[in-house]
């Protein structure tokens, strides 16, 4: 009880490293405390600055490292202290971060970096700047060995640390309102009041996965850490096929199949994900400046294991959506998580802007990513399966379809426009496209039709005379 009260007095938004650590974790055990900054350039009064920074912050260096628990998951923490020379990076800082990542790789623990920094330390010159390369090197090593890195962006996160350690993390969480940018306010030519230099702008442009109020961040961070924590070395099996949530009966006609898939009230990706997972967390953005709200990607917990998911929401996806799905599947491969994809799109977005953003290239890269996966993947068509934009998310050997889905080489209207030069003939031409679930099963395109919550009701077969006898046997009601 006392511990919980103490934790509530801390805030992850604090400039103090130890207060940020106390807000998100328990059982912190520090290491590397003996590592201290020196004066490699003989910078005037630098030693005095270090002494004052130590007195002000209570720390020996601008970063505090150690082991702790976030929720119930053991982690390695790297926490910057902005009270120590603005959380800037010197040689000693670099050595502590390198050691922290080495311990994480050895113990197979997630790295949680709590960042609040102005960048490289000028008083140590290039000896400071090259620490960015060292940090990038250990981040790359963690990636190669499947050790996750989660970065929490506090205020401010700027300069070389944002451009090396923080933005290269597998999952990025930002404290709402934090300054996040490569160029800090003091080095920009003019002070610009713009969301592009804050957590808001970074979230909007796809560089931050979650943006949270400081008081909400610890609980969400614990969920992310739990989901991404490396699992035991056990044989991976494909995710279960989700139960179909919509129609139960198979369509008799192709156009009925198309109409069902396009019905406004049909269950969509969010409903399927909520039904399938006990809890989940989303990633956001393609990390090159784009976000597509029509593609839901993230990690969920089902029956005690983490499953990566990429789910289309029934819209035409942009290049950003396909790149985000590719990013998700690459994380699944790195961490050895099985993957689930839900297919539901009329096709890829095809406006001039989409061509400029490279939608074709993004689809090609996603095809290659799926082809190269070593982790098992299960795919389910839950609605429209429109052409290559849908096929890019499909498991080549484990594709299923819901009774109210369809899959086609192209939308029936487009097929009619190409073949008949008349889009109004879409209904007629759909009958020749063999796009119904049962057609796709017969053709060997899908492995099966997803199970439903209930079996379709069987028709009651009774002769007309028997019905008449039953009606006549019922007592008549007198009307007033």
Q: 15-64 pLDDT, tens per residue?
A: 999 999 999 999 999 999 888 888 889 899 999 999 999 999 999 999 99
What does the alpha-carbon distance between residue 218 and residue 443 come to, in Å, rounded to a whole number?
50
Q: How confident is the model at residue 5 (pLDDT cuts 50, 70, 90)?
A: very low
Q: Tell me the CA end-to-end span of the chain in Å, nearest whole number.
A: 72
Q: What are the φ/ψ torsions at residue 454 (nearest 5 degrees)?
A: -140, 155
Average pLDDT of the chain, as a whole number: 90
Q: What are the φ/ψ torsions at residue 34 (nearest 5 degrees)?
A: -75, -10
Q: 125-172 pLDDT, tens per residue?
A: 999 999 999 999 999 999 999 999 999 999 999 988 999 999 999 999
Nearest to 178 by CA among 118, 222, 129: 118
Query: CB neighbours of 123 closer than 8 A, spacing ≥ 6?
Result: 39, 41, 43, 46, 49, 90
The pLDDT, as a whole number, for residue 472 is 59
Nearest to 412 by CA among 433, 391, 384: 433
The pLDDT, as a whole number, for residue 267 is 94
The pLDDT, as a whole number, for residue 253 is 94
Overall average pLDDT of the 387-399 stretch: 95
The pLDDT, as a whole number, for residue 476 is 54
The pLDDT, as a whole number, for residue 322 is 97
Q: 112-131 pLDDT, tens per residue?
A: 999 999 888 999 899 999 99
What does the alpha-carbon distance between residue 108 and residue 76 come to, in Å, rounded to a whole number?
10
């Amino acid at each position: 009880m006392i511990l919980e009260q103490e934790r509530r007095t801390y805030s992850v938004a604090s400039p103090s490293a130890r207060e940020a650590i106390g807000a998100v974790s328990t059982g912190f055990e520090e290491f590397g405390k003996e590592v201290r900054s020196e004066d490699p350039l003989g910078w005037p009064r630098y030693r005095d600055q270090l002494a004052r920074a130590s007195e002000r912050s209570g720390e020996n260096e601008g970063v505090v490292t150690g082991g702790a628990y976030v929720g119930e998951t053991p982690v390695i923490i790297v926490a910057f202290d902005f009270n120590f020379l603005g959380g800037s990076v010197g040689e000693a800082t670099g050595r502590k971060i390198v050691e922290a990542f080495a311990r994480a790789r050895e113990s197979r623990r997630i790295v949680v970096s709590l960042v609040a920094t102005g960048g490289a330390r000028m008083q140590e010159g290039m000896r400071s700047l090259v620490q960015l390369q060292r940090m990038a090197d250990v981040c790359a090593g963690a990636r190669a060995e499947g050790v996750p890195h989660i970065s929490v962006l506090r205020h401010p996160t700027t300069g070389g640390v944002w451009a090396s350690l923080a933005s290269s993390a597998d999952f990025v969480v930002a404290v709402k309102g934090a300054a996040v940018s490569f160029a800090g306010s003091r080095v920009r030519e003019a002070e610009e009041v713009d969301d592009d230099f804050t957590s808001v702008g970074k979230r909007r442009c796809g560089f931050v996965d979650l943006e949270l109020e400081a008081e909400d961040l610890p609980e969400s961070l614990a969920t992310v850490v739990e989901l991404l924590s490396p699992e035991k070395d056990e044989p991976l099996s494909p995710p279960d096929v989700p139960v179909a949530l919509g129609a139960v009966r198979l369509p008799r006609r192709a156009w009925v199949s198309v109409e069902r898939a396009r019905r406004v009230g049909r269950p969509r990706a969010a409903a399927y994900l909520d039904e399938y997972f006990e809890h989940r967390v989303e990633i956001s953005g393609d990390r090159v400046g784009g976000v597509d709200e029509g593609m839901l990607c993230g990690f969920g917990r089902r029956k005690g294991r983490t499953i990566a998911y990429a789910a289309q929401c029934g819209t035409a996806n942009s290049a950003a959506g396909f790149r985000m799905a590719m990013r998700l599947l690459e994380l699944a491969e790195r961490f050895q998580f099985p993957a689930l994809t839900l297919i539901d799109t009329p096709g890829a977005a095809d406006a001039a802007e989409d061509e400029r953003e490279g939608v074709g290239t993004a689809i090609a890269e996603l095809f290659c990513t799926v082809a190269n996966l070593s982790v098992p993947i299960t795919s389910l068509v839950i609605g429209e399966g429109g052409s290559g934009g849908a096929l890019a998310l499909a498991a080549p050997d484990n594709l299923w379809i819901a009774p109210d889905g369809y899959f086609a080489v192209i939308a029936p209207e487009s097929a009619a426009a190409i073949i008949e030069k008349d889009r109004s003939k879409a209904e007629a031409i759909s009958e020749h496209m063999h796009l119904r679930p049962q057609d796709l099963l017969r053709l060997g395109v899908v492995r099966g039709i997803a199970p439903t919550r209930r079996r379709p009701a069987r028709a009651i077969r009774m002769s007309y005379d028997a019905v008449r006898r039953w009606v006549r046997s019922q007592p008549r009601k007198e009307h007033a």
